[in-house]
Amino acid sequence: MIRLERWAATLCLPLLGLLQAWALADGQGRAHGGVQILALAGFFLFLDGARSLRQAAWRGWWFATWWLSGVCWWLFISMHVYGGLPAPLAVAGVVALAAALALYYGVAASLYWWTRGLGFMASALLFAACWTLAELARGQWLTGFPWGAIGYAHVDSPLAWLARWAGVYGVGAIAAALAALLALCVVAVLGYIFGRFISAARLPVTAPRMVSAYAWLAVLLVAILAGGHWQRAQFGEVDAQLAARKPVTLALLQGNIPIAEKFDPGTGVLDSLRWYGEQFTQRKEALVIAPETAIPVLPQDLPPRYLEIVTAPYRSGDQALLTGLPLGDTERGYTNSVLGVRPAGAGATDSSPVDYVYSKSHLVPFGEFVPPLFQWFNDMMDIPLDSFRRGAVVQPSFAWQGERFAPNICYEDLFGEELARRFSDPQQAPTVLVNFSNIGWFGDGAVIDQHLHISRMRTLELERPMVRATNTGATAIIDHRGRVVAKAPRASVAVLSGAVVGNGHDGSASSITPYAHWASRLGLLPLWALALLTVASCAVVGTRLPRMYHSR
């Protein structure tokens, strides 16, 4: 039976990992929080049944490697199709990254297995704490790569309301606790019925213990549902006030310029300048927004007077423009930036056409900077724009028509704790978030849906709408409750016309969510402290109580 269980773990954990990856984005634009919990519950069953510390660590690593490979498989497209890396090496690169990131979860799994020994609810909390530590480490250490955190599967689930209090990692922690409790309910029933055929880790299972597992699960579910109902009841007054406010009309431009040609002076550059230039001069909306590197060359390399001509409609009147482009020179370095143009007197510092600049702060490894010791890997690929300079984490918003538009570029919206730093002063806090992206490097599949869910989670955490202008998708308008109001067809040339109403215009402290309040001052330190305290408490208490295990 032990040998059979080992084979089952080896074969089933990859399937469970891929199922959890699918739950984050199913290819049809949906996330499935319930499926994510089921997949993680399956993993927990194998982890809790491990018979050694080494086996627990291996199972955590094995599950996470498949899960993260399934989440980030689209990196293959950027490395092979656009980077020119041979397919076997590109596959190896994706798997190597996933395997490296999975080490966090291998350590977390071994920490759980070594510390466990308490009752069902304590075991669930311990597992949630260990899982959260792995998520936090992956999201912050070595520049951080938190793409695919399990909390993103819950943008539409009953757990979504918790984001305004605890952020995506807090949502993930509760999901992990639910998964563990669900698994322990299965263990309790099977252990009670079949006795010795179940892992010795949870034996003996008495009727009271079996009932306690279901009682704890029921208590947690009722608390989540009741809390969500209470929270939604609090939203009515704010929503009514925003509904009465005049919106800002928008034109979100999606050029769908082929990535293989985007930086080619003879094709993609000319197509970009022509199409976006036409849109800039023809649109009538109050705010026109173009995506990351919509203008794909430096201002000094543009045709004579190009920038002056296409921005002419925004130097006077009642229109403003935000567009992505690179800035800088060889002496100062280069930045991936957003350029803003608005009429003089409307927040502009002078009458020049360029009166606002935002520069990307959190850069993409291998795409915008080369990590130490990895220049050899970058040299194997043929992808431009790999040596940008960082902007400040907190930069001024773009003031226009009573709103404070706060840009973020590409995967900067993946770091909610960094966006939250802009909310330390309620008087200057953004009222609208704006994401400028070009993820055409990664195809038009699940990566687009995953990134959309990431943006939606930021709106749930910060209760600010987010508008997204992208090259290939998802160009969208998301309201302050995380709902997609409008979306352009992906992988197509499109202009998404709509409107947005911001939140927090009065600059009151009550307009700042609890998450934004503590994360703007402390970052993710409270979550680190709470998770570490939970693990330490379980370790100390576990040494003083009779063990529930027959062996380690």
User: What tens digit of pLDDT does each residue of 391-410 get?
Assistant: 999 999 999 999 999 999 99
Q: How far apart are CA 416 and CA 406, in angstroms?
A: 13
- What residues have CB less than 8 Å from 70, skipping those under 6 apart? 17, 18, 20, 21, 22
Cβ atoms of residues 204 and 144 within 8 Å: no
Whether the predicted model's global pTM rises above the 0.75 cut: yes
Q: Looking at the DSSP assignment, which residues form a beta bridge with residue 287?
A: 250, 320
For 375-415, the three-class secondary structure string (H helix, E strand, C coil) is HHHHHCCCCCCCCECCCCCCCCCEEECCEEEEEEEHHHHHC
- Dihedral of CA 237/238/239/242: which sign? positive
- Mean pLDDT of all residues in 89-114: 96
Alpha-helix residue ranges (DSSP H) falling in 246-373? 259-262, 268-282, 306-310
Has residue 78 got a pLDDT over 70?
yes
When comparing pLDDT for 254 and 191, which is higher? 254
Strand ranges in 167-208 using DSSP code E only, listed in sequence order: none
Confidence tier at 550 by pLDDT (50, 70, 90): very low
- What number of CA atoms fall less than 13 Å from residue 247's CA on the CB side? 13
pLDDT tens digits, one per residue of 498-521: 999 999 999 999 999 999 999 999
**pLDDT tens-digit readout, 373-389:** 555 555 655 555 457 88
Active site residues: 292, 360, 410
Across the beta sheet with 248-254, what order do the strands follow? 356-359, 333-341, 320-329, 287-289, 248-254, 494-500
Q: In this predicted structure, what is the pLDDT of residue 523? A: 97
DSSP reduced 3-state for 365 = strand
How far is it, in rounded angstroms, from Cα 345 to Cα 524?
39
Contact 25, 449 (CB under 8 A): yes
User: For 10, what's the count of Cα atoms within 13 Å in the CB-facing half-sphere?
Assistant: 6
Under 8 Å between Cβ of 532 and 525: no
- Helix intervals (H) in 468-507: none
* pLDDT for residue 546 is more than 50: no
- Give the range among 44-48, 146-150, 284-288, 543-547 with minimum mean pLDDT: 543-547
Confidence bin at 552 (pLDDT 50/70/90) = very low
Helices and strands, number each (H, E), in the chain: 17, 12
Does residue 200 carry a pLDDT above 50? no
Q: Which CATH class is domain 247-504?
A: alpha beta
Q: Which residue has the tokens 């704010």?
A: 238
Q: What is the pLDDT of residue 548?
A: 44
**Taking residues 283-300, what's their average pLDDT?**
96
Q: What percent of the chain has pLDDT over 70?
A: 89
Quick one: three-class SS letters along 212-239? HHHHHHHHHHHHHHHHHHHHHHHCHHHH
Q: Is the peptide bond before 204 cis (omega within 30 degrees of 0)?
A: yes
Mean pLDDT for 335-359 is 81
* Average confidence (pLDDT) over 346-359: 72
Residue 204 has pLDDT above 70, yes or no: no
> Which amino acid is it at 107?
V
As a whole number, mean pLDDT of residues 174-188 equals 92
pLDDT score, position 375: 57
d(CA 539, CA 536): 5
pLDDT, tens digit (0-9, with 9 covering 90-100), for 429-468? 999 999 999 999 899 889 999 999 999 999 999 999 999 9
User: pLDDT averaged over the chain?
Assistant: 90
How many Å from the N-terminal Cα to the C-terminal Cα in the chain? Answer: 18
Range 443-457 burial, b when 16+ CB lie within 10 A, else e: bbebbbbbbbbbbbb
Q: What is the pLDDT of residue 257?
A: 94
108-151: pLDDT as tens digits: 999 999 988 677 888 899 999 999 999 999 999 988 999 999 99
What residue ranges do the domains of the chain occupy? 1-240, 247-504
DSSP letter assigned to residue 79 = I
The per-residue pLDDT for range 210-263, each reduced to its tens digit, is 778 889 999 999 999 999 999 999 998 889 989 899 999 999 999 999 988 888
- Mean pLDDT within 253-274: 92
Confidence of residue 369 (pLDDT cuts 50, 70, 90): low
Which amino acid, one-letter code, is at 468?
A: R
User: In what order do the strands lie in the sheet containing 432-437?
Assistant: 398-400, 403-409, 432-437, 466-470, 476-478, 484-487
The pLDDT value given to residue 197: 43
Residue 350 has pLDDT above 80, yes or no: no
